């Protein structure tokens, strides 16, 4: 006779809830901004696992991000961009350094000011140009703006304008991954303004409860449109908010691309190993207005100039590359020339795209195999 136990149908076991140690606030400041020493220019963290080749690739992405945005501003001034242009000038290191620390299977959902993360994830500048110019060949075919699209194969999920909404969406992505026995980390970007939304709280709280590998990168860039961080939140450091979710936090110098890389790599590893959600606060500065139209009248005199002269992420990284003899000036110039060539080509491609056919507006509200497109009737149906 066979063992009755072996014939019994195996039922899925309920997950046992782990007994958690009493929470203590954990904010790591290992990569936080250092005090500025008079007469000494800022560089980058010298301790790094990045190879010289990787460092040069990082430089390429930083430069690509800045130059794509500069080209977008040119296109905007030529009235070729249909909507607004949103710059990440002065805070490119956060998006580039953090996204570069991820594996190819990991997902990101950047904000509008994280173009660098989009490019690191493998989206081509041509897609960005076509999107801004509302062209038919853009990934959304003219249906939506700028980086509001996604590419599931590349692990990029575009944001929507409603800040905070992507945090619960990424939580759902990770819940699905757990059911599908897939292992990846999701990174969601948010700002000092977006953290005030209910969706941010609901999403991060749920991810923390479920111990999902979600890394939230909170960019303290001093302004949400015109509102300073002091009118957004009563905490001094955004990292303090992590304790409300029972998760650890890091503070990183967001203009130090190597620090951004290292801190994200560590946070992602912690999450990947099953530690759960992590918050990274990146201290940075938005040197441009909310969008190109914004005259920044709300910014104190001299503030932008100070950041431009003393704490520009590209200047700092170039200084690092020279100081550590990773690259000579000529090598960097070659990278810039290469990036410029790519931008010229991609921009020309996007400009050559037609605008979408008007009738395209009616398609794809629902799956059109099930519900027909929403054409505007030329005459009333009878």
Partner 1 sequence: MSTAVKKEHKSARPERGGQATMVEAIRQGIWEEMERDPTVFVIGEDVGAYGGAFKVTDGLIDQFGSERVIDTPISEGAIVGAACGAALMGMKPVAEFQFIDFISAGFDLLTNYAAKCRYRWGAGISAVFRGPCGSGVRAGPFHSLNAESFFLNTAGLKIVEPSTAYDAKGLIKAAIRDPDPVLFFEHKKLYRLPRLREELPADDYIVEIGKARVAREGRDLTIFTFGAMMLTALDAAEELEKEGLDVEVLDLRTLAPLDRASILSSVRKTNKAIVLHEASRTGGIGGEIAAIIAEEAFEWLDAPVLRIGSLDTPVPYSPPLEDYYLPQIKDVIDAARKLAAY
**Which stretches of the chain bind partner 1, using CB under 8 A?**
11-15, 17, 19, 139-140, 143-144, 148-150, 152, 157-158, 160-162, 165-180, 198-199, 202-203, 205-206, 209-210, 364-367, 369-371, 374, 380-382
Output the CA–CA distances (angstroms, integers) from residue 66 to 23, 61, 69, 330, 335, in the order listed: 41, 9, 5, 19, 13
Query: Toward partner 1, which CB reaches closer, 17 or 22?
Result: 17
Residues whose CB is less than 8 angstroms from the CB of residue 317 and which lie 6 or more positions away in sequence, other chains included: 44, 58, 59, 62, 93, 257, 258
Query: Toward partner 1, which CB reaches closer, 52 or 372?
Result: 372
Environment class of residue 199 by beta-carbon count within 10 Å: exposed (0-12), middle (13-18) or buried (19+)?
middle
Query: Toward partner 1, which CB reaches closer, 148 or 272?
Result: 148
Query: Toward partner 1, which CB reaches closer, 37 or 179?
Result: 179
Which tokens go with 129?
């140009």
Query: Toward partner 1, which CB reaches closer, 152 or 234?
Result: 152
CB 89 within 8 A of CB 288: yes
Beta-carbon neighbour count of residue 297 at 10 Å? 7
CB 161 within 8 A of CB 147: no
Output the CA–CA distances (angstroms, integers) from residue 301 to 63, 89, 266, in the order listed: 28, 18, 38
Closest distance of CB 229 from partner 1, Å: 23
Query: Toward partner 1, which CB reaches closer, 160 or 231?
Result: 160
Residue 364: closest CA among 82, 176, 130, 144: 144
Output the CA–CA distances (angstroms, integers) from residue 164 to 146, 249, 293, in the order listed: 18, 18, 24
Closest distance of CB 333 from partner 1, Å: 37
Closest distance of CB 180 from partner 1, Å: 7
Closest distance of CB 367 from partner 1, Å: 4
Closest distance of CB 141 from partner 1, Å: 9
Query: Toward partner 1, which CB reaches closer, 146 or 311?
Result: 146
Closest distance of CB 48 from partner 1, Å: 33
Closest distance of CB 31 from partner 1, Å: 29
CB 136 within 8 A of CB 358: no
């Amino acid at each position: 006779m066979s063992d009755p136990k072996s014939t019994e149908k195996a039922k899925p076991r309920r997950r046992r809830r782990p007994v958690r140690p009493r929470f203590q606030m954990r904010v790591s400041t290992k990569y936080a901004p250092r005090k500025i020493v008079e007469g000494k220019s800022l560089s980058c963290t010298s301790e790094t696992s990045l190879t010289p080749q990787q460092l040069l690739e990082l430089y390429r992405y930083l430069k690509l991000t800045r130059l794509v945005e500069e080209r977008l501003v040119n296109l905007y001034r030529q009235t070729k961009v249909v909507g607004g242009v949103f710059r990440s000038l002065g805070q490119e290191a956060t998006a580039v350094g953090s996204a570069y620390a991820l594996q190819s299977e990991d997902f990101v959902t950047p904000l509008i000011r994280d173009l660098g993360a989009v490019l690191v994830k493998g989206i081509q500048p041509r897609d960005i140009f076509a999107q801004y110019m509302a062209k038919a060949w853009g990934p959304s075919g003219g249906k939506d703006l700028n980086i509001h699209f996604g590419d599931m194969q590349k692990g990029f999920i575009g944001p929507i304008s409603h800040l905070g909404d992507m945090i619960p969406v990424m939580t759902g992505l990770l819940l699905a991954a757990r059911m599908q026995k897939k292992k990846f980390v999701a990174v969601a970007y948010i700002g000092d303004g977006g953290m005030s939304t209910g969706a941010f709280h609901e999403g991060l709280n749920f991810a923390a409860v479920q111990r999902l590998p979600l890394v939230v990168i909170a960019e303290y860039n001093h302004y949400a449109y015109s509102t300073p961080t002091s009118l957004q939140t009563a905490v001094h450091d955004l990292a303090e908010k992590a304790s409300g979710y029972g998760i650890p936090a890091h503070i990183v110098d967001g203009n130090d691309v190597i620090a951004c890389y290292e801190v994200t790599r560590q946070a992602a590893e912690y999450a990947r190993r099953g530690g759960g959600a992590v918050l990274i606060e990146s201290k940075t500065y938005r040197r441009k207005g909310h969008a190109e139209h914004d005259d920044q009248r709300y910014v104190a005199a001299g503030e932008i100039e100070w950041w431009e002269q003393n704490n520009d992420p590209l200047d700092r990284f170039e200084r690092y590359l020279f100081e550590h003899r990773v690259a000579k000036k000529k090598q960097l110039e070659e990278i810039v020339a290469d990036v410029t060539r790519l931008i010229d080509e991609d921009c020309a491609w996007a400009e050559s795209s037609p605008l979408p056919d008007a009738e395209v507006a009616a398609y794809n509200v629902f799956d059109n195999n099930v519900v027909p497109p929403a054409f505007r009737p030329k005459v009333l149906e009878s």
